[in-house]
């Protein structure tokens, strides 16, 4: 049977979005005709994919107007490219409205992938835009037939609020056979990977470096708070203990992750989107067999309860962060390997893509 065409869209320049890349690759490898639509907001880095992709060019100078412009232009793109043999695949709330309207107009299936609880993200809290996102969410999500999301806690939130059964597809990396020797680093490496956004615990971890000896803090990623964090390092005279690696391609980031002694995912509870998240970096470090320090948030506590893959911080005081880092370092990366190995077999894309394909099979019928 000929597979349907899938039009995947996201408010993204697509370059570093690992979840979209994995989803599209899995669908492509299983016979779906994929076309990925993003935009040039934040850059137009060169990339290659085994399927078609395009970026909508935005003239907007502010994010607020960029959302409106993208949604209007995306609607026109979808109307031009969609037909009765198409499945629409919208990534997050900021791409949902045009997909929903085209789905209704053409009577074709729509799969909504909520990477987070968009309306409850720290960036929109207390703003007029939050009311708009909540309005869209309230109007559209109860009417959806196919929805996936990135954590069990997110799925419960959407079920409680809208009565929709979202399928949990964690953003886990593909399983790797770990054949590397564990490096003997001097100094030891604490690694943060991801966007340099507020409430990620980055500034607290920088200050924790005052309480850590023979440790270097490597920060891999880019984002709106980068300059602020660089200034903090200078002001605290920590230039010799903190290193900014910049934005890396996923394959380059994976190589860096393998070298770390301890990873970190110490997001703060800055609203329900963060509270119920399962950050990519947790699953990436597990797959690289790197132990972590973790926030006392539901998804991270759940993983720690299943697999002893690191330590939960007591709170975000720099001294407590340092204590948790030292606890992992004193235990040694080698002593976490059996639990990390067990977790890596469970928390991998090979398990998640089975559920993804099941959703698109249902949407195809």
- Rounded Cα distance, 165 and 350, in Å: 22
> Would you say 154 and 114 are in contact if contact means Cβ atoms under 8 Å apart?
yes
What confidence tens digit (pLDDT) does each residue in 282-323 have?
A: 999 999 999 999 999 999 999 999 999 999 999 999 999 999
Provide the 10 A C-beta neighbour count for residue 116. 19
Q: Is the pLDDT of residue 1 over 70?
A: no
Identify whether 178 is part of a domain.
no
Looking at the structure, do residues 355 and 321 belong to the same domain, yes or no? no
Count of domains for the chain: 2
CATH of the domain at 159: 3.40.50.2000
- Rounded Cα distance, 25 and 21, in Å: 6
> Would you say 14 and 29 are in contact if contact means Cβ atoms under 8 Å apart?
no
Identify whether 274 is part of a domain.
yes
Please compute the mean of the pLDDT values over residues 332-360 and round it to a whole number.
97
Looking at the structure, do residues 206 and 337 belong to the same domain, yes or no? yes
124: pLDDT confidence band, cut at 50, 70 and 90?
confident
- Rounded Cα distance, 203 and 11, in Å: 27
2: pLDDT confidence band, cut at 50, 70 and 90?
low
C-alpha torsion angle, residues 198, 203, 208, 212 (rounded to 10): 110
* Tokens of residue 109, six digits: 């299936």
Identify whether 211 is part of a domain.
yes
Identify whether 267 is part of a domain.
yes
C-alpha torsion angle, residues 57, 59, 64, 67 (rounded to 10): -30
Looking at the structure, do residues 326 and 353 belong to the same domain, yes or no? no
Identify whether 159 is part of a domain.
yes
Identify whether 182 is part of a domain.
no
Share of the chain above pLDDT 70, in %: 99
Task: Give residue 342's pLDDT.
Answer: 96
Range with lowest mean pLDDT among 101-105, 174-178, 227-231, 279-283:
174-178
Please compute the mean of the pLDDT values over residues 345-364 and round it to a whole number.
97
Furthest-apart CA atoms within the chain: distance in Å: 63
- Rounded Cα distance, 313 and 245, in Å: 25
Identify whether 137 is part of a domain.
yes
> Would you say 202 and 225 are in contact if contact means Cβ atoms under 8 Å apart?
yes
Looking at the structure, do residues 33 and 136 belong to the same domain, yes or no? yes
Looking at the structure, do residues 127 and 212 belong to the same domain, yes or no? no
Note down the domain range covering 104: 5-172+349-364
Q: Is the pLDDT of residue 115 over 80?
A: yes
pTM for the structure as a whole: 0.90
Q: Is the pLDDT of residue 231 over 90?
A: yes
Looking at the structure, do residues 93 and 223 belong to the same domain, yes or no? no
């Amino acid at each position: 049977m000929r597979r349907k065409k899938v039009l995947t869209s996201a408010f993204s320049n697509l370059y570093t979005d690992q979840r979209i890349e994995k989803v599209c690759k899995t669908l492509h490898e299983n016979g779906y005709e994929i076309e990925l639509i993003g935009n040039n907001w934040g850059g137009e880095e060169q990339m290659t994919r085994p399927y078609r992709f395009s970026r909508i060019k935005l003239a907007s100078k502010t994010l607020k107007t960029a959302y409106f412009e993208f949604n209007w232009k995306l609607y026109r793109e979808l109307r031009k490219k969609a037909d009765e043999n198409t499945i629409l695949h919208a990534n997050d709330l900021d791409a949902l409205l045009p997909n929903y309207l085209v789905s209704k107009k053409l009577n074709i299936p729509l799969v909504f992938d909520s990477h987070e609880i968009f309306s409850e993200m720290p960036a929109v809290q207390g703003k007029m835009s939050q009311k708009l996102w909540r309005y869209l969410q309230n109007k559209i999500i109860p009417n959806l037939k196919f929805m996936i999301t990135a954590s069990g806690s997110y799925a419960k939130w959407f079920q409680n609020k809208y009565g929709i059964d979202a399928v949990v597809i964690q953003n886990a990396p593909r399983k790797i056979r770990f054949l590397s020797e564990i490096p003997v680093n001097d100094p030891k490496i604490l690694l943060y990977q991801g966007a340099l956004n507020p409430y990620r615990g980055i500034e607290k971890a920088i200050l924790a470096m005052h309480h850590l000896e023979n440790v270097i803090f490597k920060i891999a990623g880019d984002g709106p708070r980068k300059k602020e964090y660089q200034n903090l390092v200078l002001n605290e005279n920590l230039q010799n203990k903190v290193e900014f690696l910049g934005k890396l391609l996923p394959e380059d980031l994976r190589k860096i992750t393998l070298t770390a002694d301890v990873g970190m995912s110490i997001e703060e509870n800055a609203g329900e989107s963060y509270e119920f998240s399962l950050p990519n970096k947790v699953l990436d470090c597990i797959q690289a067999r790197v132990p972590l320090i973790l926030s006392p948030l539901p998804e991270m506590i759940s993983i720690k309860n299943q697999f002893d893959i690191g330590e939960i911080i007591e709170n975000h005081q720099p001294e407590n962060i340092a204590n948790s880092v030292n606890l992992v370092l004193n235990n040694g990366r080698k002593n976490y390997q059996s639990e990390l190995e067990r977790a890596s077999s469970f928390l991998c894309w090979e398990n998640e893509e089975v559920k993804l394909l099941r959703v698109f099979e249902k949407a195809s019928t």
